Amino acid sequence: MNPTEQKHVIHSPRHELHALQDRFTAVRDVTEKLAAPLAPEDCNLQSMPDASPIKWHLAHTSWFFETFILERFEPAFKPFHPAFRVLFNSYYNGIGDKHPRHERGLISRPDLAMVIEYRHNITRRITNLIEALADSDKTFTELMWLGCNHEEQHQELILTDLKHLLAKNPLKPAYQARWPLTGVEVKKPRWHRHEGGLIEIGSTNNEFCFDNETPRHRVFLEPFELASHPVTHGDFADFIADGGYRRPELWLSLGWEWVNANKITAPLYWEKHNDDWTTFTLHGMVNIDANTPICHISFFEADAYARWYGARLPTEAEWEHAATCATERAIINGNFLDSHVLHPLSLRETASSNHPQQLFGDVWEWTSSAYLGYPGYQAEAGAVGEYNGKFMCNQFVLRGGSCATPKQHIRATYRNFFPPDARWQFSGLRLARSVA
């Protein structure tokens, strides 16, 4: 993937054979269903260097299983096509050469039909290996769970990269048409207090996690408050109306340079028509819904909004502590890829909740924390160790998942990360503030 792929890896308990079979089959099926409504022309194009063609995602997720699993475990292994090892390598220097990332949209051959044939070939061969090895080889099982989670990350990338691509089309075509969406009116945020103290964050390794979620460790938190819900489109429109993009005192130095160099005046996909803001969605071009969480903003924009409001972004430790205190129902009721809405929704509950709402799903929430290894972190050995560790520079952590994240993929300890100017993901924010 790219710094989107949430870099990796391998900590997983023993899983029963049928669970692995079911997860692999379901993951492969979902990926192809996401691409099914698209024409071959849609699947071939690349809208910017940070995004990849849908065809490339379909191939790369098969490349991962072929390269890291079939090559290692399949008797008498033969590649589907020798050239694919270079063509669909993303960033694994330990594997060897790579096709230039910014030229993925120039790969007209293999065509989409051959890529689908490639997928089906790899799926069949992996299925045979699961039946032969899943009960006996721990390394195989761990790599399989990694491969499934890796492909789920690309499912989100398929949708965000496709949205960026369709937005470049003057016709503003919709991927699906289910607008308008429904929800409840969102008022000003209420504040949920947390007393802080010595807490623990990070994975306990009782379920699959990426290596950047470990080791579990202690963190001391001062008392803080977290807003009841994410900042909304309407909130952000107020920020713009108050000159938010024209006031240097609200911006970090690099952010102010970014705003001016790129002539940024609104979140990605927003357009002004007369006095109304519209935005491009996977449902096409629509008027902004003031009650839905703001998305497609950079870390710079999130930080500037928080300063304008008189608050700040939470640290990732604060966010995880609050999310861990919330009930499991917060994930169960979240708006994820599984809901097929593909856009943030407004609150589905009343404001009487005892915990912050919408912590999971809808939008990834920027934190103020740099993406670094936890105390004692060590990357895995070999090419698989490139999944996460080498990206721990010039990135910020986001938490919670989005409306394009598979529900089964997310958890309270999950760490996403992007550079501070990235906007094409469903990235938003939730306010925090320190208290005495």
Contact 359, 230 (CB under 8 A): no
Do strands 427-428 and 364-370 pair parallel, antiparallel, or not at all (unpaired)? parallel
Domain boundaries, the chain: 17-167, 191-434
Looking at domain 17-167, its CATH architecture is: Up-down Bundle (1.20)
pLDDT in tens, 177-221: 877 676 677 778 899 999 999 999 999 877 889 999 999 999 999
Cβ-based neighbours of 124, under 8 Å, separated by 6 or more:
none
The neighbouring-strand residues paired with 432 are 226, 312
Predicted pLDDT of residue 410: 95
pTM of the entire predicted model: 0.93
Task: List, run by run, the mean pLDDT of 10-residue segments along the chain (436 residues).
Answer: 43 62 96 97 97 98 97 96 96 92 96 98 96 79 94 98 98 87 76 95 88 96 96 97 98 98 98 94 95 97 98 98 84 92 83 81 98 93 81 96 97 97 98 94
Predicted pLDDT of residue 9: 46
Cβ-based neighbours of 363, under 8 Å, separated by 6 or more:
230, 293, 294, 295, 344, 400, 402, 403, 426, 427, 428
Q: In angstroms, what CA-CA distances link 367 with 92, 226, 318, 405?
A: 28, 12, 9, 18
Report the C-alpha dihedral over residues 63, 68, 74, 76, rounded to 10 degrees: 80
Q: Is the peptide bond before 100 cis (omega within 30 degrees of 0)?
A: no
Angle at 167 between CA 163 and CA 168, to 5 degrees: 125
The sign of the dihedral angle between the CA atoms of 50, 55, 58, 64 is: negative
Kindly state which CATH superfamily the domain 191-434 is placed in: paralog of FGE (formylglycine-generating enzyme) (3.90.1580.10)
